[in-house]
Amino acid sequence: MRKIKKPLVGEYPEYSHVYLDLMEDDDRVLEHLWNNFIEIKKFIMALPDEKLKYRYAENKWTIKEILVHLIDDERIFAYRALRYARNDDTPLHGFDQDLYAKCSNANERSLENIFEEYEWVRRSTISLFQNLPEDSLTRGGEGIDFDGSVINKRTVRGLAYHIAGHELRHFNIIKARYLS
């Protein structure tokens, strides 16, 4: 798979370091995306059904809601990468992840159905980054907060690493907080 260098500080917003710090500096983000999908699927599919709708605290997402959140987030950030890669630096609005989770009906879906969608999105994301022109990886754009202020700048490669690190962070949270 294609190698993509890890973004430098300034190619992603400050808050994203929690995701990027989880990623190796080995240029293998696309390989990581595929391997981590396989690992997460194997891990989650082995869990008992009652764990899939468990909330470790009030207003926290279930594992199914986390999975659909990862799909939503990946779609949105891959779309941003496409826009920036095509030299469209129109500022893009953020999204209310809690509203998305609430409206996802994740807990009514089967795990097989969620992972089928997850796999299609993951394959699409990898294909997108695999086929972008090399010079597009350092292009970027801005994100807009709900109040209309510019909140961050990201590059295309910063978005690839965000997707991978964001997934890994949620996987770590599942292992730490949902299985006790």
Averaged pLDDT in 10-residue chunks for the chain of 180 residues: 96 92 96 98 96 95 98 97 94 90 97 98 98 97 75 91 98 94
Which pLDDT score is estimated for 147? 66
Which pLDDT score is estimated for 90? 87
Which among 28, 60, 11, 81 has a CA at the least distance from the CA of 173?
60
Which pLDDT score is estimated for 123? 98
Which pLDDT score is estimated for 78? 98
Which pLDDT score is estimated for 76? 96
Which pLDDT score is estimated for 42? 98
Which pLDDT score is estimated for 65? 98
Confirm or reject CATH 1.20.120.450 for domain 14-177, answering yes or no. Answer: yes
105 phi and psi angles, rounded to 5 deg: 55, 30
Is 41 exposed, middle or buried, given 0-12, 13-18 or 19+ CB atoms closer than 10 A?
Answer: middle
pTM of the model: 0.95
What is the strand order of the sheet 140-144 is part of?
92-93, 140-144, 150-155
**Quick check: 19 and 165 in contact, CB under 8 A?**
yes
